[in-house]
Chains A and B, each alone.
Chain A
Amino acid sequence: MNQIRLFALLLVMTLLLTSAGLAFADELVVYSARNEQLIKPLFDAYTEKTGTKITYVTDKAGPLLQRLKSEGKNTRADLLITVDAGNLWHAAEEGVLRAVDSPALGANVPDHLKDPNNRWFGLSLRARTIVYSTERVTPEELSSYEALGEPQWENRLLLRTSKKVYNQSLVAMLIAEHGKEKAEQIVRAWVGNLAAAPFSNDTKTMEAILAGQGDVAIVNTYYFGRMLKKDPNLKLALYWPNQGSTGVHVNVSGAGVTKHAKNPDAAVKLLEWLSSEEAQNLFADGNMEYPVNPRVEAHEYVKAWGDFKASGQNLASAGMLQKAAIKLMDRSDYR
């Protein structure tokens, strides 16, 4: 009769473990697509400062959003954090975020880095720029994202996959700036210049430049930063394109208060704190990103890569045009 005993044991264990999910009612609950190792230090600091307990669960933005939708008004989540504007825009569209009226947030986050209806706010800025081989390219040869489609880069350009949201946002911004037709021409020209099939991530893309597979690529700056930290003599450099025109493409990691938040006021307070001078460096520096708060300087290590003019397009359009961007890239055979 061993099985019966085994089943009984299982049942008891299950019940015991089950009770773990039912604790805590008065704290903030955060659904985060941003890594635990990036958000945990912030939450710890906030808890120490204010006494507010924060519980969080991490996952990809898609599942988190779906979770919010299915839970509806009974959700426990107060705050949703993502690592790109597109998903925040989509969350707002789906109606799971609430508008927040906060002067502090208004002052801390520039208009183009937040929802026009105040349902989400950028918290750190991630620049997607050009990286080049210092051995085979001089900065004078470079000028803009668009120019990477010119014949001189034939068989020299490397790109990350079009399935990554960073590239989808980039192309969305190109559509916003140039219109669909022109944007498609640019993307087609890029694809024509590719020296290798698109890579699965930015680091691999840069490693391919080092190995000589290509000479230039478009990457997020913090991936470059990580490589540079490992190898200070890295034979790669960043280039800030479109400085005379539209500026460097940026995206945000940001957050919004959920529509059915149980502690909306506390959530707004946390959001305000995250955008404040006090927390901005902690938020951005952990991943070598840029603060959104104009009164806060980036970390020195990051500043050393140079100042740049960032795109002033409102990031909501990244979300709005994401679908169009993907279709465009599919049509252009950008994989």
Chain B
Amino acid sequence: MTPLPADRAGASRRGSSRFFTRPSGWQWLTGVIALLVLTPITVLALAWLDPAWEIWQHLQETLLARLLINTATLVVGVTGGTLLLGVSLAWLTGACEFPGRRHLSWALLLPLAMPTYVLTFVFLGLFDYTGPVQTQLRSWFGRGIWMPEMRSAGGVVLVMSLALYPYVYLLARNAFRTQGKRALEAAESLGCSPLEGFFRVVLPMARPWIAGGATLVLMEALADFGAVSIFNYDTFTTAIYKAWFGFFSLPAAAQLSSLLVALVFVLIVVEQRLRKRMRYAQSRLAPQAERIVLQGGKRWLACGYCWLILLIAFLLPALQLLRWSLEIFHAEFDSRYLGLLGHSLLLALISAVLIAAVALLLSYAGRRHPGRLTQGLIRTSTLGYALPGTVLAVGIFIPLAWLDNQIIDFARDHLGSEMLPLLQGTIAIMLLAYLIRFMAAGFKAIDSAMHRVTSSIDEASRLMGLRGVKLLARVHLPMLRGGIFTALTLVFVDVMKEMPITLMTRPFGWDTLSVKIFELTSEGEWERAALPALTLLLSGLIPIILLMRQSDKD
């Protein structure tokens, strides 16, 4: 790894070797955050002290092969699918011009607000054997008509790709937006056909952003439980849940989970290694890069394609939710909904700000310290995203309850007073848990924006006497505005949708919309869950629309 010029200067100023210098404030900060994330993961890894051989042996004899194949299929398929959808849509709306482009560019983000399990449920409801589409087709063409089996690997991959593509779309779009048509023209002037140019230049240039989005997708796909269980598609995650809820073995579940974390860590490191020292800082900031104006039939093809994806991934499911909601509105709606909504919004808002702020600090720390240690700590800080929510929730809860018990015992023994658990069931702990879980979403968004700030900008600013926080506030913040907004939106929406951590760590009475959805779906009352799901969807739209207005300004 080649240090940046800024670092080289810093290192020589401080001493001959980075390893013998006192860690800076930035490194301390990174260390603390990494430690926070590592705590639940360590708790889970400690389960290996008592390996659940019996369950492992059973898995190995029966399910393991299928689990691995299914999980690999899911991860490869969904990552591939989201790349295909996300990159193509991002390039069309980011670098091209065609009818409806302006509205589509933000509308295509809307599926972000749709929880994966809701999309899955609605999607299967519409397109499975029992759904209206296949029923209608059977009534027209007879029972013998062949139709693809929706509840299959292909079906899961399709639905999850539709649900998760916005992660890739959102990050890649920023990259294509600044790329404009110049890169492609340069390639063409060097003898590439537009298609060749796309693969040799346009894509590789957007790689850190695309990779950032794909990493989020990969982690989501690995951690997903809702969608795969509705499909009854056995993956690593379903095995984790089976070990815990079926075999009553939390250690086995924790052991399986820690493998998942290890896998993700390896993938992240591999991706970073492949990137090596390529830097993607643009030589100039050209936010208004010229778009490629699509001509003739291509314009309508692009327009139609975008609309089709929007229709399947968002409009149809949203309409279905709306229909169900209207059916049950009178029976279900009461003043409590406002309370649920309020809780959801408040939690999402606070954690979005908190996580974006921490992500910013982390990303900045990584910029100041490109050394192995800091980079490793930063990568560690994002691992919480890869764990199935419920498992992470337990990993957080166990040390927390332990700490609380210590405090209570201390108070009893030394102060002679009985007290209630201090930490558990507080909002602060909930926020901390969200931080551990969603650090990756905030960090990827901000860090990929940070890539665009050239080191010469740092140097120029430092010459003018700006350092540390001031440099961050005066120079970087304005330049990172887009990335910060993206981070806020992603985290906001993610927290709104989050279920297991909310269930486990919320204070008494602090129910949210997703808790309500859990209540209803746990006994299979999906139609009744439409109302909270729709409310959740609508409130998730607010930041997305704000985000898009922001990025249109840029």
Contact = CB atoms under 8 A, between A and B. Distances in A.
B474 to A, nearest CB: 12
A203 B528 CA distance: 13
Contacts of A70: 397-398, 400-402
Nearest to A66: B394
Interface of A: 3, 6-7, 10, 13-15, 17-18, 20-22, 24-25, 29, 33, 35-37, 55-63, 66-67, 70-74, 76, 83, 90, 93, 161, 163, 165, 168, 196-204, 207-208, 210-213, 223, 226, 287, 322-323, 326-327, 330-331, 335
Contact of B510 (A20, A22, A163, A287): A20
Nearest to A211: B130
Contacts of B510: 20
B231 interface: yes
Interface string B328-353: 00000000000000000010001001
Contacts of B248: 90, 93, 322-323
A163 B229 contact: yes
Contacts of B473: 3
A60 B522 contact: yes
B63 A59 contact: no
Interface in B338-388: 346, 350, 353-354, 357
A7 B135 CA distance: 56
Contact of A213 (B58, B129, B231, B346): B129
A326 B427 CA distance: 38
Contact of B506 (A6, A57, A165, A213): A57
B431 A76 contact: no
Contacts of B526: 203
B461 interface: no
B239 to A, nearest CB: 10
Interface of B: 58, 61-63, 124, 128-130, 134-135, 143, 149, 151, 229-232, 234, 238, 241-242, 244-248, 250, 346, 350, 353-354, 357, 390, 393-394, 397-398, 400-402, 404-405, 408-409, 420-422, 424-428, 431, 473, 500, 503-504, 506-511, 515, 518-520, 522-526
A335 B427 contact: no
Given A74-B421, A207-B130, A14 B428 contact: yes
The 10 closest A-B pairs by CB, nearest first: A70-B401, A17-B427, A21-B507, A21-B425, A330-B62, A211-B130, A18-B426, A207-B130, A201-B524, A59-B503
27 contacts: A13-B350, A18-B428, A21-B425, A21-B426, A25-B420, A33-B522, A35-B519, A57-B506, A58-B503, A62-B250, A67-B397, A73-B405, A90-B248, A163-B229, A163-B242, A165-B245, A200-B229, A200-B230, A200-B231, A208-B129, A211-B134, A213-B130, A226-B525, A287-B523, A327-B62, A330-B62, A331-B61
B508 A35 contact: no
A37 B519 CA distance: 8
A74 B405 contact: yes
Contacts of A326: 242, 246-247
Contact of A198 (B232, B242, B353, B404): B232
Grouping DSSP codes into helix (H, G, I), strand (E, B) and loop, the B interface class, with mixed when no group exceeds half, is: helix
Contacts of A287: 523
A56 B124 CA distance: 34
A49 B504 CA distance: 30
Contacts of A29: 508
Nearest to A16: B427
B359 to A, nearest CB: 14
Nearest to A207: B130
Contacts of B242: 163, 326
A220 B428 CA distance: 41
Nearest to A15: B428
Contact of A71 (B353, B405, B409): B405
Contacts of A76: 420-421
A234 to B, nearest CB: 14
Nearest to B507: A21
Given A17-B427, A18-B427, 16 more contacts: A21-B427, A29-B508, A55-B508, A56-B508, A63-B397, A63-B500, A66-B250, A71-B424, A74-B421, A200-B232, A210-B130, A211-B134, A213-B129, A322-B246, A326-B247, A330-B62
